[in-house]
Chain A
Amino acid sequence: MIVTETRIPRRQLLGAGALAVAGATAGTLVTSPSASAAPSASRAGGWSQMVSFGWEVSNLHNNGADVSFEVLDDIVLTAADIDVATMILSLPSAPGFQEVLCQAAAFRQTTPTYGTPPQVYLQPPATKDFGATTYDNPNGLSIGGDSPPYQDKWMSIILKAWVPADGTASSASRHIHTEPMLALRRGDYLAFHMDHAGVGVDGEMQVVLGYQPFGRDWR
Chain B
Amino acid sequence: MSDQTLSVVSFGWEITNLHDNGADVYFPVQRDMIFQWLDVDVATMLTSLPSSAGFLEVLCTGAVGRGGPPKFGPAPQAYLETPDSTNFGSIATENPEGLSVGIGPTTPGQDGFFATILKAFAPSTGAASSASRHVHTEPDLVLRRGDYLGFHMDHAGVQVDGEMQVVIGYARL
A contacts, CB < 8 Å to B:
47, 76, 78, 95, 97-99, 101, 103, 105, 127-139, 141-162, 164-166, 168-170, 172, 174, 176-183, 212, 214
Main secondary structure of the interface of B (DSSP, over half): strand
Contact among B6, B12, B74 with A182 in the assembled complex (CB-CB below 8 Å):
B6
User: Do residues B27 and A141 form an inter-chain contact, with CB atoms below 8 A?
Assistant: no
Bound CA–CA A141/B170 (angstroms): 31
Q: How large is the interface on B (under 10, 10 to 19, 20 to 34, 35 or more residues)?
A: 35 or more
The number of A-B residue pairs with CB atoms under 8 Å apart is 215
User: Do residues A129 and B33 form an inter-chain contact, with CB atoms below 8 A?
Assistant: yes
Contact among A105, A136, A141, A180 with B6 in the assembled complex (CB-CB below 8 Å):
A180
Main secondary structure of the interface of A (DSSP, over half): strand
Bound CA–CA A161/B33 (angstroms): 37
User: Do residues B136 and A141 form an inter-chain contact, with CB atoms below 8 A?
Assistant: no
Bound CA–CA A143/B155 (angstroms): 14
Contact among A139, A142, A147, A162 with B78 in the assembled complex (CB-CB below 8 Å):
A139
User: Do residues A141 and B169 form an inter-chain contact, with CB atoms below 8 A?
Assistant: no
Bound CA–CA A212/B4 (angstroms): 12
Bound CA–CA A141/B72 (angstroms): 16
B76 CB–A CB distance under 8 Å: yes
B7 CB–A CB distance under 8 Å: yes
User: Do residues B69 and A134 form an inter-chain contact, with CB atoms below 8 A?
Assistant: yes
Give the residue name and chain of the A residue nearest to B23 (CB). A137
Contact among B15, B41, B149 with A174 in the assembled complex (CB-CB below 8 Å):
B41
